[in-house]
Amino acid sequence: MRFCIYANTNKDPGCVFTGKIAKYLETKGALCLFHDSLADYFPNEQVFSRPDKKADMAIVIGGDGTILSIAVECAAASLPIFGFNLGHVGFLTECETDKYEYALENLLSGKYALEKRALLQCNIDDDKDFCALNDVVISRATEKIISLGVYSGNSFIDSHRCDGIIVSTPTGSTAYSLSAGGPIISPSAEVLAVTPINAHSLHSKPMIIGKNEIVTIMLEKDNVATVFADGKTIKNLTGECVVKVGFSSLSVSFVRLDGYNFYKKLLEKLNNWSYVHNKEE
């Protein structure tokens, strides 16, 4: 098998765990290619800058943020993702580090399934296009709240004076949208969540939008905002801009081992999340 390996060197200092993974795979006859950000750690290995379309899988070592950073390019290359969790929560990762041998044996023997997750397609002022796995966020860029009009296609939904609006996939419903009071959505549901952030109104509530609808968000005159995709800054907006968000034709596949269950993982991760935060306090 042929693997593209990504790693977050802040989560894996010195790429110690990454090296362990690669060595195990190579002793089993697999070929490992390393993202060029890891070239200094693996000077004698093959490197890549864009996903190798001939590869069977991407192995990502880090946390959800690491996966988000490479998800769109893996989707474009039809490269499924398997994640080892070195982060705090790890909704998107599949395996903890202490089970790496079990996981790798299953990957090498083909004992896994692929789960598709939808991507968002976003357009700004009919000019700039981009994709996101978790969410697209329109957020205020100054100390002042912003005024946003929200539409489904040409149908007016509501206007909000708020800190911003999150449009999330089911995958992203357990991320920023959840923190802002949005619903948790099963990954099998083909819907979007539209969640206002700190709205200056008692009736501004999250909404669920159907898969064939395009969410149109209009920034009103004299407002200043920034558009983010999966936490990355995309563009600064100044007054009367239009952001359109819907489902992309692309999807990203995650490698799931036997026994994977979204609801079981959700419960475990939310309980662990609460424990970590309470412990830190």
Residues with a catalytic annotation lie at: 64
Closest C-alpha among 226, 46, 205, 66 to residue 146: 226
Phi, psi of 174 (to 5 degrees): -95, 10
SS3 for 132?
strand
Please state, in angstroms and as integers, the Cα–Cα distance from residue 57 to each residue in 73, 105, 168, 258, following that order.
13, 14, 26, 17
Decide if 176 contacts 236 (C-beta within 8 A).
Answer: no
E strand or H helix at 112, and its extent?
strand 112-124
Q: Apex CA 256: angle with CA 255 and CA 260, to 5°?
A: 165
E strand or H helix at 128, and its extent?
strand 128-132
SS3 for 229?
strand
Q: Apex CA 89: angle with CA 85 and CA 91, to 5°?
A: 80
Cβ within 8 Å of residue 93, ≥6 positions away: 60, 63, 64, 67, 83, 84, 85, 87
Distance CA 267, CA 35 (A): 33
